[in-house]
Amino acid sequence: MRFLRLDKYLADAGLGSRSQVRQMIRRGDVTVDKRPVKDPAFSLDPSLSVEYQGRLLASHPLTCYLFYKPAGCVCAARDGAHPTIFNYVPQTRKKDLFSVGRLDLDTEGLLLVTNDGVLGHRLVSPRMHVDKTYYAEVNGHLAAEDVRAFAHGLDIGEKKPLEAANLKILCNRADRSDPLVSIVAEEWELEPWTNHDHATGDACAYVTIHEGKFHQIKRMFAKRGHELTYLKRLRMGPLVLDPSLAPGQYRPLSKEESDLVRSGESSYF
């Protein structure tokens, strides 16, 4: 939960300037959860009701969208060459929406877009070990040695070797008629998703990582001699890409999803 200073919250809500709202607070005209609060520096839980002279104020809503990022769009506020996430998810008047982490230009799939700084920070913090699961297609033949190397922790030139990652081979070109997608998806609590009909590479797999290094998955496969040809994020922590969303579409998190992701209580953290 992100706490805010009461005077800042009221000024942001348009009640008046910082000094005007401080006077209103000191006069006892402001209540939080129906109780008068006279300290302008009061630390406010923004989910509580705030009233001025008995009138409920428009709050500063914390928003979090589940966005299906299409390939070809960049996770930046501005870009000269490509559409950005804000060509799809309209920025707020306060321009406070940002993406939680980044996906590469060609990567598609689940991206959270929010104005909740605390939530965003928590989900990308290396200490939180948030699981991120991707569907990947690569060139070359994926084998048990690749699975072992991912699990061991690859050295991709960072200061330390990577943490253990989970590689689940779904199919190689040779046995493409029998992909393991539905079995693995059930085991991993995912929608059974594959690019099977439009496959770009020789082999496809699900990969779960806990970190978020630059081009991490691309570099992990490259280290094993495989060129990444397609990447789609299916899960981030307890949140799963909604199969009813088409690329470029977004929706707010449901109450359950929001509680789950804000509480941090999930086996995917």
Within a 10 A sphere around the Cβ of 93, how many other Cβ atoms? 6
Q: Distance of CA 62 to CAs 3, 68, 77, 263, Å?
A: 11, 20, 19, 15
Residues that bind ligand URA (CB under 6 A): 103-104, 107, 215-218, 231
Nearer to ligand URA by C-beta: 11 or 231? Answer: 231
Amino acid letter for position 161? P
Nearer to ligand URA by C-beta: 9 or 134? Answer: 134
Strands 203-209 and 43-44: unpaired
Nearer to ligand URA by C-beta: 199 or 222? Answer: 222
Least distance to ligand URA, CB of residue 144, Å: 22
How far out from the chain centre does Cα 67 lie? 9
Selected catalytic residue, list 12, 79, 96, 104: 104
Q: Distance of CA 107 to CAs 1, 24, 100, 137, Å?
A: 30, 50, 15, 11
Residue whose entry in the numeric block shows the structure tokens 């779960």? 208
Nearer to ligand URA by C-beta: 99 or 107? Answer: 107
Task: Let me know if 116 is a catalytic residue.
Answer: no
Least distance to ligand URA, CB of residue 251, Å: 21
52 DSSP 8-state letter? E
Least distance to ligand URA, CB of residue 240, Å: 17
- Residues with catalytic annotation? 104
